[in-house]
Copies of this chain bind each other. A is one copy, B any other.
C-alpha cells in the first residue's frame, strides 16, 4: 500500500545535500513527487520540502534519513501527506474568519482537525457547534483571568496534542511568555497591510488617510506585538466613497481569505522560518 510523505528540513547550505537526501530516499524505495528548495543568501541556510511516494513504513524512512540528517545537522520533520493538523482556534465576537475555516475544513479544503474553539465571548458557540466542534467560553476580564486562561491553554495544548493555535480575530494580547513558549506555532490575522497601520482601528486610520488599498496580514505571533514573520498578505482596492463600515466589510473578506491561506500552508508544512522571514513553498 503506497503512501505519501512530506519531508521538510533546514540546515547550513553546502554542496551535496540534495544528492545525499535523494540517495536516502531512493534507498528507502521512495520516489520524489514534489520538491522545493531555497538557499538563503541572508542567513546561509538551506531549506527543502519534499513530497515522496513510497511503500516503506515510517520507521524505514527514518532509518534511512537519520544518518544524513545527523551529518548535515538538519532540523527535520517527516509527516504523512494529508494528515490533518490538530488546530485550536481562539476567537472573540467576529465570525468571519472562524466561519471560513470551519466551512473549508468540513469541505475537505483545509487539512486541519479542530478539536475545540475557545472564545472570550460566548457569541460564536452556535457556529462552532453547527460544525460539530466543541466551544468553550472563557471570559477574560482582568490580568488574573488572562493568566488563568493561558494556564488552561497550556494544559489543553498538551493534553489535546495541539500543533497550531490560530488567533481568528481574537481580540486579546497573549503574554510575551506564552508567545515565546509557542513561537512558530501561533498564527494571527492582523487587520491591516503590515507594516502599514499597526495597532487598533486600522480601518479608521486607512479612511482618514485616504488610502486606495486596504489589506490583511497573516503572521506568526512573537512577543513583539504585530512584528512576527509575515506568512501571507492580500489587499483590496477601495474608493473615496467607501464608508468606514464598508471598509470593515471589505477588510473582513480579505482577512478570512488571508488567514485561511496561511493556515493551509502551515498545515501542509509549506511554511519554514528563515530568521524574521518566512519561506513559503507553495
Residue positions of A touching B, CB distance < 8 A:
14-16, 18-19, 22-23, 25-26, 29-39, 41-42, 95-96, 99, 103, 107, 109, 130, 193-197, 208-213, 215, 229-235, 239-241, 243, 249, 253, 257, 274, 276-280
Contact = CB atoms under 8 A, between A and B. Distances in A.
B41 A243 contact: yes
A242 to B, nearest CB: 10
A241 B279 CA distance: 8
A210 B243 contact: no
A233 B213 CA distance: 7
Given A18-B32, A96-B107, A196-B193, A211 B233 contact: yes
B18 A35 contact: yes
Contacts of A241: 34, 38
B19 A31 contact: no
Nearest to A48: B35
A210 B230 contact: yes
Contact of A22 (B22, B240, B249, B257): B22
A183 to B, nearest CB: 16
A213 B15 CA distance: 32
Of A14, A96, A197, A210, most B-chain CB atoms within 10 Å: A210
9 contacts: A18-B32, A96-B103, A99-B99, A99-B103, A209-B276, A212-B230, A212-B232, A240-B277, A253-B257
A87 B210 CA distance: 25
In the complex, which of the residues A18, A23, A99, A231 has the most CB atoms of chain B within 10 Å of its own CB atom?
A18
A276 B239 contact: no
Nearest to A30: B15
Contacts of A26: 15-16, 19
B240 A38 contact: yes
Contacts of A103: 95-96, 99
Closest 6 CB pairs of A and B: A210-B277, A19-B22, A212-B233, A18-B22, A15-B31, A196-B196
